Structure 1
Amino acid sequence: MSITPFLILLFIGYIIFTIDKKKENFPVPLILVLVGIGLSFIPYFSSIEVTKDMIYHIFLPGLLFTSAYRFSPDALKRNAGIITFLATIGIMLTVLLLGWTIYVISGLFALSFVGSLLVASMLTPTDPVSVVSILKKSSGDKMMADVVEGESLINDGTSIVIFTVILGIYLHDKTFSIGAFLGEFLFVSIGGTLVGLGFGWLFSKAIHITHHKEYQVMLSIILAYGIFNLAEHLGVSGVLATVFAGIMLSIEFNRSHQEDHFRESLDSFWGVVELSILSLLFLLIGVESTNYLLFDAWGLAFLIFVASLLVRFLIIAGTTQSFPVWRDKINWKESLLLSWSGLKGSMSVFLILSLQAKEAQGTEFILSLTFAAVLLSLVIQSIGIHPLSKKILTD
């Protein structure tokens, strides 16, 4: 495949990021997706093939690592309870409740219960890249943004395990075993976490003894992409390995009197990488989406989108208001904002493309339905996040 179309897309991303300096009412990722949809009608761009490996092995490790090593260890410590719950038990409950809701409302389209769970599993990962900066600017309190970002970093790994189990049941009529599921989930997640923490610690020591900024950046590239692929080779979560490697690196930076020096050398490189990946990723999501959106169930897709918001709100509000330690931090209005901030994005698209790669008979409708719900989430939630956050966080 020629690299020229990607260079053109990168240049388009540069123009959009340069023009949209405020990034409030229309976050850049939303604009990129809409531009990508427009580009898909130009034959030159419609021929670009977007694959699950492209998203999973090229785009995700860089984005995950950048977010993880920038994430404040103090913020993670303060909000560890709610972040861990939402990214594990919360996402499992969401899949079950949303899957049941989809099964009920699918009506004439007659989705099976397992098919409904499959749709729900693809819609549960969150991608807050569009909203975190807005949440931080809307109020001096960064807690909401920290919870949204922390949940997203961890729930990507959880969502892959849940999706894989449900996909196996859907394609091969496997029986569901709670014991087998929990065993696989614990092995994949704990294994990925331990691999990430271990190698993150080792590489942080190597960075300490490497004084040249260029070499430190080289080490960080090896850590971000090497640990992801090593973990996947070992059969554990590459997503969680990369996330916790970045978090461990951040923790070790905090303990060093040279923290600013280390972060400056990495920020100058990974800041450019992040913007480049985001430009390509969301433009390609727009280009790819038109392959799925010519179908006659947009009404059902909208109902599923609304259901995903309601289910997420019920779980977040029900949980936070049931425990005093969380109720003191997050009221029901802030629970609404947390729910709205859970946009669907890159991980959902990866899961959709993973299902597509199976080329299983009868999955076309599920693919279109899920992609439509993802697109609705990107558009509607992106537009609404600024006024909603201003209303809730400044009242």
Structure 2
Amino acid sequence: MNELLPFMLALIVAIVLIEMLADKLKVAYPVLLVVAGLLISFIPGLPAVQVDPDMIFFIFLPPLLFEAAWSISFKEMKKWWRIISSFAFLVVFFSALAVALLANYFIPGFTLALGFLLGGIVSPPDAVSTGAIMKFVKIPKSTSAILEGESLLNDASSLIIVRFALVAVGTGQFIFQTAVVEFSWMVVGGILIGLLGGWLFMQAHKRLPTDAPSDIVFTLVEPYLLYWAAEQVHSSGVLAVVAGGLFLSTKRFSFLTSASRIKGSSFWEALIFILNGIVFMLIGLALPEVVKGLRADGIPLSRAVFFGCLVTAVLIGTRMISSYGAMIATLIFRPSVAPGRDLSTRRRLGMPLLLGWTGMRGVVSLAAALSIPLTLPNGESFPHRNLILFITFTVILLTLLIQGLTLPYLIKRTRLFDYTRELSEDETKMKVKNKLVVETVRLLKEKHAKGLYEDPHLQKMIDQWEYKINHPENLKMPETSRQNYLELLESQRQFLTGLKKDPELHEEYIHWQIYQIDLEEERVKLL
């Protein structure tokens, strides 16, 4: 442990420095982290990295999924649910099937069950990689919502495929009726446990005398308990975390104080950055150990690389075909809800190309591959485990390097989103601000007319601040003034929450404005 601690601390420092370099180079940091991990692994004297699958699944996956569910716009998910569902379920299954058929035909000794196992592992695109790349390009919120929603749900669908494939490999049989019942329970049970658990946690936040630190600790415990509870009854822990996270995210303004939201936002941002950084670094660090396993199995490295490249090509091609298929189906059956319908024909045809090119793999694929047991139930070694691990690592590495490095250039080159009619970020923020100003004036006039607000601090705020500057002895705000102002801020928050129903206003910017009010509330409490 004493030898490992300096290495882990140095690894975290390296992650922070690499993220700074990635921002400077305008490159997605997961790309540099994987490459850096691979280079670091060749330094002599470093401890060999052997990743425990339980560590990836139980330590890393629940908080990563929970934070993603917490930050996504549920309104946008409902708006684009058709295309999100098709990508998160149909495209994942189509990709897994294509990989299964390819592996069964080209890789010696690969059964169809092993092919589906490999397909389920490498089928889900990674949200972190896509999000990191999108920081450097401007895309419409509709496209961003589709990618975020897909990445949130495809993890569950791919891991369900992996679970059934593991059973088929271990038992040598696949009973359709049993699989349908188990699948239904995994989906329904996971969602119900997530919703029930989310409601119980919300009640705990509301009824217990919590403060910001205890609220943050609760939010950290929640994904782990939801995941554990669902797995104990053999339902989907991933779906439980996603469902619970979505439920709590829509209710956050009713049970978390402004201090909890502000401090919690900073805590979770730092935590998720470190967790993602460690996982992507582990991808590179663990690759040499996987190569050693291949050599022990007598598989030539060149052949394993060929299989990895072949699977990567099939995944990219399958996603491209699925993207155009989804666009054609949407235009035929539901043209009114097709994203980018205001674009020209050339740009509309280019959108599926870009959606198809966002299929970088990452955390979930790594976790699923490492979850493969070393032995079968009968005690025999799990067939082709090292090869599956190597192909997974190859797919992650190639998609990050090829698609991750070229996606920003492709978006800028095609200029696909230069002519969107969607309101820009500045325009949307200004619209939210203007609506809030109008409502604030209305509230003040209404309260003043009723004789409730006679406080000059609320009637003439500028004069009040100038008075404080000229009379520093009166910097402390009177208690009556503070309570009146806090009441106004709460009314503003409630009004902004109601604006979520406006289809023109993206939920992200409304949350941004509420965050400004939260900051103002904390400032006033300190006066």
Normalised by the size of structure 1, how large is the TM-score?
Answer: 0.90
Counterparts of 2:6 and 2:326, CA distance in 1: 49
Which has the higher Rg, Structure 1 or Structure 2? 2
Equivalent in the alignment of 1:328:
338
Compare 235-244 and 131-140 and name the one that shifted more.
Answer: 131-140
Find out whether 1:365 has 2:367 as its counterpart: no
Counterparts of 2:383 and 2:101, CA distance in 1: 23
Counterparts of 1:374 and 1:46, CA distance in 2: 23
Equivalent in the alignment of 2:477:
none
Task: Tell me: CA distance 1:82–1:262, structure 2 relative to 1, closer, same or farther (3 Å).
Answer: farther
Please tell me the residue identity of whatever aligns with 1:163.
Answer: V
Query: Aligned match of 2:410 in 369, 385, 388?
Result: 388
User: How far off is 1:43 after superposition?
Assistant: 4.4
Matched residue of 2:187: which SS? helix
Task: Tell me: CA distance 1:204–1:366, structure 2 relative to 1, closer, same or farther (3 Å).
Answer: same
Q: Deviations over 1:209-247 (max 9, x none)?
A: 555211110110121212111211121111111112111
User: How far off is 1:282 after superposition?
Assistant: 0.9
Task: Tell me: CA distance 1:122–1:257, structure 2 relative to 1, closer, same or farther (3 Å).
Answer: closer
Compare 202-211 and 6-15 and name the one that shifted more.
Answer: 202-211
Find out whether 1:193 has 2:191 as its counterpart: yes
Find out whether 1:348 has 2:365 as its counterpart: yes
Please tell me the residue identity of whatever aligns with 1:11.
Answer: V
Counterparts of 1:290 and 1:89, CA distance in 2: 34
Task: Tell me: CA distance 1:68–1:45, structure 2 relative to 1, closer, same or farther (3 Å).
Answer: farther
Unaligned runs of 5+ in 1: none
User: How far off is 1:133 after superposition?
Assistant: 4.3
Counterparts of 1:217 and 1:313, CA distance in 2: 41
Please tell me the residue identity of whatever aligns with 1:389.
Answer: I
Unaligned runs of 5+ in 2: 295-300, 341-347, 376-380, 420-527
Counterparts of 1:154 and 1:22, CA distance in 2: 32
Task: Tell me: CA distance 1:23–1:227, structure 2 relative to 1, closer, same or farther (3 Å).
Answer: farther
User: How far off is 1:137 after superposition?
Assistant: 5.0
User: How far off is 1:258 after superposition?
Assistant: 6.9
Find out whether 1:225 has 2:221 as its counterpart: no
Find out whether 1:375 has 2:375 as its counterpart: no
Equivalent in the alignment of 2:129:
130
Task: Say how many residue pairs are matched.
Answer: 390
Query: Aligned match of 2:322 in 285, 303, 315?
Result: 315
Retained in 2: the 8 A contact 1:158–1:189? no
Please tell me the residue identity of whatever aligns with 1:6.
Answer: M
1:53-132 to 2 correspondence within 5 Å? Answer: 53-104=54-105, 106=106, 109=108, 111-132=110-131
User: How far off is 1:44 after superposition?
Assistant: 4.3
Greater relative contact order structure (CA < 8 Å, 6+ sep): 1
Task: Tell me: CA distance 1:141–1:377, structure 2 relative to 1, closer, same or farther (3 Å).
Answer: same
Q: How high is the sequence identity, in percent, across the aligned residues? A: 27
Matched residue of 1:41: which SS? coil
User: How far off is 1:363 after superposition?
Assistant: 3.2
Equivalent in the alignment of 1:247:
246
Equivalent in the alignment of 1:142:
141
Task: Tell me: CA distance 1:257–1:120, structure 2 relative to 1, closer, same or farther (3 Å).
Answer: closer
Counterparts of 1:241 and 1:257, CA distance in 2: 20
Please tell me the residue identity of whatever aligns with 2:365.
Answer: S
Equivalent in the alignment of 1:163:
162
Counterparts of 1:137 and 1:16, CA distance in 2: 16
Counterparts of 2:140 and 2:388, CA distance in 1: 40
User: How far off is 1:172 after superposition?
Assistant: 2.7
User: How far off is 1:261 after superposition?
Assistant: 5.0
Retained in 1: the 8 A contact 2:369–2:388? no
Q: Deviations over 1:86-118 (max 9, x none)?
A: 2223322221133223444x27x4643333322
User: How far off is 1:257 after superposition?
Assistant: 9.8
Q: Deviations over 1:299-324 (max 9, x none)?
A: 23212211101111212321231123
